[in-house]
């Protein structure tokens, strides 16, 4: 990958006709160090958010030693990139062959489950191994999250006690895990979830060795500015400290978005303007899945060539992606200079989480290149008082 000072330098040097991805390793390093140094427990990176081997190695160098993998493909890829990492297979429903391969070939000893059927499957696949750490996932509300994860996985309260007792008998280490949903906008989401953990432990009367509060730790986007992450960490730790658990128990978390959102942005090109609709060369089937299907608003910059300030007023735009599909539409609104025109390049920020991971080649479209840039991401939770609010971080750079 080539190195550039910023997105504008990329446009000046390459004038890309296809989307290009920008990588900011320093942003991922900063996020990882923040979690490692401030979360009073073990940080597992949720690989599904962005499985880039370069990112995995960046997080490893920054102190993240545990990785939440959700498929045998992620197990293989992460083990290949990080031979010494601890891999935790935290998907509650897995193929028996995947469990067997993960255990026998890749050294995985940590698995999650939310049913007796899955427990039995894990035991069969590992030949009733005596060195398993097994986590029972319980269902908790997603009321405070932008994207609910409350429907698909998690043992219900009426079935949790028996499952915990059976898992305790089968495991070397017993854990309880949950997920409050993606982009949880208040720390209190974890308080309600941990109260369910308390009730489950009391009812089952089992010794618990791990509490895994899952993901949900937010990043910052236009219109979505969460409290400081320190408030989340303090709230989680206070609630955890009061649980009836082993004196040697460990607290875990599984951030995905919070570790990698600031790692990537993309540069797109305007191919057509129809009133306040911009036709760009990436979209719903590329890096902008969340913008299309969930209504996520990402920060944007207009990149123009000679560095002169753009004096045009801002206007609200929506985007159409490059495919032949009407669903390839991002409503926004995205604030850009009112004189934005065909041929302009736009940087779209905060796409490190799920942007690259969910990209497809539908209709033959895709990215054309990847560049490392040295400037700051378009917003950050990790720069204290220097943070520019996302709603204001919509500017033009230069003027052609």
Q: What is the pLDDT of residues 252-285, one digit of tens each?
A: 999 999 999 999 999 999 999 999 999 999 999 8
Round to whole Å and give the CA distance between 2 and 230: 35
Instruction: Give the integer Cα–Cα distance in Å for 175 and 137.
Output: 9
Q: pTM here?
A: 0.91
Contact (CB, 8 A) for 4 and 374: yes
Question: Do the first three CATH levels of 2-23+262-397 and 26-260 match, i.e. the same topology?
Answer: no
Any idea where the domains of the chain sit in the sequence?
2-23+262-397, 26-260
**Cα 195 to Cα 53: distance, rounded to the nearest angstrom:** 37
Give the CB-side neighbour count of residue 303, counting CA atoms within 13 A. Answer: 23
Residue 67, strand partner residues: 45, 87
Per-residue tens of pLDDT for the chain, all 400 residues: 579 999 999 999 999 999 999 999 999 999 999 999 999 999 999 999 999 999 999 999 999 999 999 999 999 999 999 999 999 999 999 999 999 999 999 999 999 999 999 999 999 999 999 999 999 999 987 676 566 555 677 899 899 999 999 999 999 999 999 998 788 888 898 999 999 999 999 999 999 999 999 998 999 988 888 899 999 999 999 999 999 998 899 999 999 999 999 999 999 999 999 999 999 999 998 999 999 988 889 999 999 866 555 668 999 999 999 989 889 999 989 999 999 999 999 999 999 998 888 888 878 777 778 999 999 999 999 975 433 333 333 333 333 2
Pair 19, 268: CB distance under 8 Å: yes
Please say whether the beta carbons of 370 and 200 come within 8 A: no
Residue 40 burial (CB count, 10 A)? 12
d(CA 270, CA 278): 6
Pairing of strands 345-348, 300-303: antiparallel
At residue 384, the pLDDT reads 56
**The CATH number, out of the four listed (3.40.50.620, 1.10.10.10, 3.40.50.1370, 2.40.37.10), of the domain defined by the range 2-23+262-397:** 2.40.37.10
**Distance separating alpha carbons of residues 383 and 341, to the nearest angstrom:** 33
pLDDT tens-digit readout, 306-363? 655 566 899 999 999 998 988 999 998 999 999 999 999 999 999 999 888 888 887 8
- The tokens for 257 are 């978005």
Say if residues 358 and 370 touch (Cβ distance below 8 Å): no
Helix axes 229-241, 25-38, angle to 10 degrees: 30
Does residue 2 have a cis bond before it (omega within 30 degrees)? no
Q: Determine phi and psi for 317, rounding to 5 degrees.
A: -125, 155
Distance CA 269, CA 177 (A): 43
Domain 26-260 architecture? Alpha-Beta Barrel (3.20)
Give the up-direction half-sphere exposure of residue 201: CA atoms within 13 A in the CB hemisphere.
22
Residue 154 CA, chain-centre distance (Å), reads 20
- The per-residue pLDDT for 146 is 65
């Amino acid at each position: 990958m080539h190195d550039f000072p910023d997105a504008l330098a990329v446009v000046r040097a390459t004038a890309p006709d296809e989307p290009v991805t920008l990588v900011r390793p320093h942003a991922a390093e900063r996020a990882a160090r923040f979690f490692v140094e401030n979360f009073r427990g073990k940080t597992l990176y949720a690989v599904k958010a962005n499985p880039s081997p370069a990112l995995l190695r960046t997080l490893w160098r920054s102190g993240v030693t545990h990785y939440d993998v959700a498929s045998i493909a992620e197990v293989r890829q992460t083990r290949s990139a990080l031979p010494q990492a601890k891999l935790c297979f935290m998907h509650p429903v897995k193929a028996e062959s995947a469990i067997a391969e993960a255990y026998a070939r890749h050294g995985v000893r940590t698995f999650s489950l939310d049913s007796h059927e899955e427990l039995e499957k894990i035991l069969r696949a590992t030949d009733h191994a005596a060195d398993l750490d097994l986590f029972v996932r319980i269902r908790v509300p997603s009321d405070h999250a932008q994207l609910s994860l409350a429907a698909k996985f998690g043992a219900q309260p009426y079935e949790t006690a028996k499952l915990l007792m059976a898992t305790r008998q089968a495991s070397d280490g017993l854990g309880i895990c949950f997920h409050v949903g993606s982009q949880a906008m208040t720390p209190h989401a974890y308080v309600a979830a941990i109260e369910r953990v308390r009730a489950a432990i009391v009812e089952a009367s089992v010794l618990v060795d791990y509490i895994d509060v899952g993901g949900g730790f937010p990043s910052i986007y236009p219109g979505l500015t969460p409290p400081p992450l320190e408030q989340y960490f303090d709230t989680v730790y206070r609630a955890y400290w009061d649980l009836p658990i082993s004196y040697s128990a460990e607290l875990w978390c599984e951030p995905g978005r919070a570790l990698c959102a600031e790692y990537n942005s993309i540069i797109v090109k305007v191919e057509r303007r129809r009133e306040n609709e911009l036709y760009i060369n990436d979209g719903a089937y590329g890096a902008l899945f969340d913008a299309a299907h969930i209504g996520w608003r990402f920060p944007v910059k207009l990149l123009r060539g000679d560095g002169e300030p753009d004096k045009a007023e801002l206007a609200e735009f929506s985007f159409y992606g490059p495919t032949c599909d009407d669903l390839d539409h991002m409503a926004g609104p995205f604030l850009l200079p009112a004189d934005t025109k065909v041929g302009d390049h736009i940087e779209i920020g905060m796409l490190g989480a799920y942007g690259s991971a969910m990209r497809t080649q539908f209709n033959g479209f895709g990215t054309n290149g990847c560049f490392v840039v040295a400037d700051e991401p378009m917003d950050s939770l990790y720069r204290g008082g220097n943070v520019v609010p996302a709603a204001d971080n919509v500017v033009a750079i230069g003027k052609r």
